[in-house]
Structure 1
Amino acid sequence: MNYPMQPNYFSDFDDLFERMNQGFGTMGRAVSGSADFAVDIAHHDDELVVTADVPGFEKGEFDISIDDDRLTVRAESEMESSSDDDSYVRRERHHRTVRRTIHLPVAVDGENATATYRNGVLTVTVPVEADGDVRHIDVE
């Protein structure tokens, strides 16, 4: 027996609650101090390697800068606009901007930093500045 498709009267409420939850999630991140994306920082002998998961961007959409001991990563992605906007039933993809400033644990040489972006993972490699006052002592 075929029944005609019944309208989902709760879909408007579902959309409303989903938007409210997204707003609370953003507010919670702002209060707790967490950022838009996660990072790992590894300190190797003569360099820091910062790895960040930032999927959904292109290489050209990143703005990476180093100022003293702060590494700032910004990325902005634009949604492609289409002239046939009336054909969408639901549209959730939109303009997205992420930004995070990371305080680096050691003095770095920002002039010689490099960055790569592959498969949604950004890797920034920053040489550590050699400190003339540091003296290594051999253990006898």
Structure 2
Amino acid sequence: MGEYTEQRNRDFMAAYRREMRAMFAKGEEMNVERIIARVVEQEAPGYYVSYRYARRAVGDLMERGVIDRYDGGLRRHSRRDMMIEIGRKCAERMRERGMGLGQALTDVLVSERASSFFMTRAYARQLFYRMGKNRKIK
């Protein structure tokens, strides 16, 4: 997971700035908490996970039947939920297109957007303040 963290952080901050500009343009009241609440619910450009890690995690979830049995809504802030979402998309490709898990996973990781950044508001707040303090992200 670590190798994609920097890109995820940059994408999160870019989404934060876009949301802030959109709220400003609409004349909405802005504060850090409100902006973060909206950003963590938005789609993310990708999953920020390596093929190797996802292959192991999704394969394990499929073997244990978690992907097929899971009927609850995703909380969208845990790594497990992210793997379940990836696994569902892989299972769909495997069923509909006859792909193997490896090919389906590659396709999902390369071409799909994530339904969220898969982080809690508390973590997003920490990230926002840490990134603002470091000012390395433009």
The interval holding the TM-score normalised by the smaller chain is under 0.3
**TM-score, with structure 2 as normaliser:** 0.26
Q: Which has the higher contact order (CA 8 A, sep 6+)?
A: 2
Higher strand share: 1
**TM-score, with structure 1 as normaliser:** 0.25
Higher helix share: 2
